[in-house]
Amino acid sequence: MKTTLALYLLTTLTLFSTERLSAQNKFLETIQKNDTKWWKEAVVYQIYPRSFKDSDGDGVGDLKGIISKLDYIKSLGVDAIWLNPIYTSPNDDNGYDISNYREIMSDFGTMNDFDLLLKGMHQRGLKLIMDIVVNHSSDEHEWFKQSKSSRDNKYRDYYHWWPAEKGKPPYRWSFFDVNSDAWKYDAKTDAYYLHYFSQKQPDLNWENPTVRQEIYEMMRFWLDKGIDGFRMDAFQFASKVTTWPELPQGYEKNIIKYYGVGPHLHDYLQEMNKEVFSKYDIMTVAEGAGSTPEEAMLFVDPDRKELNMAYHFESVDIGKHINDFGLVKYKDIFSRYDQTFKDKGWLSIFLANHDQPRMVSKFGNDSVQFRSLSSKMLSTFIMCMRGTPYYYNGDEVGMTNIRFDSIEDYKDVDTRNKYIGLKNKGGDLKAFLEVQKQTSRENGRTPFQWDSTKNGGFSEGKPWLKVNPNYSFINVELQENDPNSTLNYFRSLVQLRKKDPVLVYGKYTILDKENPSVFAFTRELNDKKILVLLNFSEKESTFNIALPTSKFKIILDNYSSTKEIKKNTLRPYEAVIIEIK
């Protein structure tokens, strides 16, 4: 079996590399060289370090664990790793509350481990993208400790304070606060401080130029170590309207508009670019970027010199399950964004991350019958769209939502605090827990499933979060040697994307737009045309597209048996990539 797979991979890779060279040359003749960028061509693999691999048996994933899996990551064919925060943190929000930006969290290891990780990655040609959380820090950061110590401390203005003698501050909603109130009273100086996220995540005051300079210096510290880019966490909230006007009715429907994208946001990004990014060949990506494609463009229009690419939330914030919101609406989001970005700027394409449920549980079907097929179909989608694909660890083997029954199983500040808040108000806790089974972020954070041994091979100790019991049949080891596995299909997709620039740079056109089950589109570059057909339904579905009568070749499909397409019909969750000659 192993030999067969090796032969299969060798043949495919050889074919790909020869074909790739000629396609690439042709492409470079016609596209201006400065439009091509390594980060547009990269496939990014996101690692949630806490849950990836534990090397020392304390139940928490760590950097040495990631180092031990670098060959596996390389074998996926991906180019860059985005690591969730690994800095020192009291972990109120799993590392998104940083108490020291220049140290490694002891749970994860040491700076020496970090240096070894970076070296190991670069030796394998993998780039490292660090998550940087600078809208807020931890309340245990030295800056905040100083800031809260007295009203005239030199760090006072590093954060937003409202003196109590002015009365209660105008209400601001908080994402993670038990009472949903973003202002917390602090008796020491008789004032309130602002925290858009949890009480332990006070918002930094970006209007203070000294804060900005401290942050730029810290970013240079990591870049000088040789990292390859940043993912800017929650940065759209950094600039606020600091006259704190009352919020209008219905503000909840557009939180970003009232809470973020403030008057100086783009000034800050331009300053950051000038002072930091422009001095390195790196990749920068903004989490969330306004609420519309046009707003997202402002972050990444190359002429504005801010960031390289944006990811938006429209396609994940759309609802609990694809059956609830429907494919037509979903297709429309991607098509609108692509339309806005077709000539300039760049997007990222993702279906899941550490803040989302598992992709197969939300957009596919995680039943035994359809899990593998629908995972493959969704991976096909991500790898065939225009934009840099971000692929979340574990999705390559089809990991699913865990669906905890009890609040005790949850560790996440988001779920726990919402639960307490609801309980205090006498709300329906049962209904809340039912919804969490579909939406909770911890569905995507359960330990990585490596093999069928204890804890799925993640840890010798007691994992910090329960392992999904389905590890016994969903894991890397079982799929490694099966040429038809979800894992090896993902590898083939990555190779396909790398083989030919058409899937990276080619024009996107949606077909059969109103079809409620089939997502069909073409990608075109020079004389190359690729047609992608994806059935998002568990039923056979037809599509209304005139297929060419001759000269087309199926280059990849998730049933591994598709020779032809009969009567414009796709089988359940079928995905087919066709090259039209």
**Residues classed as catalytic:** 233, 287
Query: Token digits for 441?
Result: 């972020």
Site for ligand GLC in 91-120 (CB under 6 A): 93, 96
Is residue 355 near ligand GLC by the rule CB under 6 A? yes
Q: Is 212 helix (H, G, I), strand (E, B) or coil?
A: helix
Site for ligand GLC in 399-418 (CB under 6 A): none
C-beta of 444 vs 456, nearer to ligand GLC: 444
Task: Tell me how far, at minimum, the Cβ of 176 lies from ligand GLC, in Å.
Answer: 7
Cβ-proximal residues to 251 (8 Å cutoff; 6+ apart), any chain: 257, 258
Q: Is 463 helix (H, G, I), strand (E, B) or coil?
A: coil
If we measure between CA atoms, which residue out of 396, 486, 504 comes closest to residue 20? 504
Cβ-proximal residues to 57 (8 Å cutoff; 6+ apart), any chain: 459, 460, 461
C-beta of 134 vs 384, nearer to ligand GLC: 134
Site string for ligand GLC, 315-354 (x = CB under 6 A): ---------------------------------------x
Task: Tell me how far, at minimum, the Cβ of 350 lies from ligand GLC, in Å.
Answer: 12
- CA 35 vs. chain centroid, Å, equals 24
Phi and psi at 294, nearest 5°, equal -65, -40
Is residue 47 near ligand GLC by the rule CB under 6 A? no
Is residue 82 near ligand GLC by the rule CB under 6 A? no
Spatial separation of the C-alpha atoms in residues 207 and 205, rounded to whole Å: 5
C-beta of 446 vs 562, nearer to ligand GLC: 446
Is residue 233 near ligand GLC by the rule CB under 6 A? yes
Is residue 442 near ligand GLC by the rule CB under 6 A? no
Q: What is the largest CA-CA distance in the chain?
A: 79
Nearest residue to the partner ligand GLC, using Cβ: 96
Tell me if 443 sits within 8 A of 361, measured CB to CB.
yes
Which residues are 578's β-sheet partners? Answer: 531, 554
Cβ-proximal residues to 276 (8 Å cutoff; 6+ apart), any chain: 216, 219, 220, 223
C-beta of 183 vs 196, nearer to ligand GLC: 196
C-beta of 136 vs 386, nearer to ligand GLC: 136
Give the binding-site size for ligand GLC (rule: CB under 6 A): 9
C-beta of 331 vs 354, nearer to ligand GLC: 354
Is residue 121 near ligand GLC by the rule CB under 6 A? no
Q: How many CA atoms within 13 Å lie on the side-chain side of 327?
A: 20
Task: Tell me how far, at minimum, the Cβ of 197 lies from ligand GLC, in Å.
Answer: 5
Other Cβ atoms within 10 Å of 456 Cβ, number: 25
Task: Tell me how far, at minimum, the Cβ of 196 lies from ligand GLC, in Å.
Answer: 8
Task: Tell me how far, at minimum, the Cβ of 3 lies from ligand GLC, in Å.
Answer: 43
Site string for ligand GLC, 181-220 (x = CB under 6 A): ----------------x-----------------------
C-beta of 27 vs 197, nearer to ligand GLC: 197
Task: Tell me how far, at minimum, the Cβ of 133 lies from ligand GLC, in Å.
Answer: 5
Spatial separation of the C-alpha atoms in residues 386 and 338, rounded to whole Å: 7
DSSP state of 248: P
Spatial separation of the C-alpha atoms in residues 175 and 360, rounded to whole Å: 26
Where do the H-state alpha helices sit in 102-158?
111-123, 142-149
DSSP state of 159: B
Q: Which of 60, 78, 218, 234 binds ligand GLC (CB under 6 A)?
A: 234
Is residue 133 near ligand GLC by the rule CB under 6 A? yes
If we measure between CA atoms, which residue out of 506, 501, 483, 504 comes closest to residue 556? 483
Q: Binding residues for ligand GLC, per CB under 6 A?
A: 93, 96, 133, 197, 233-234, 287, 354-355
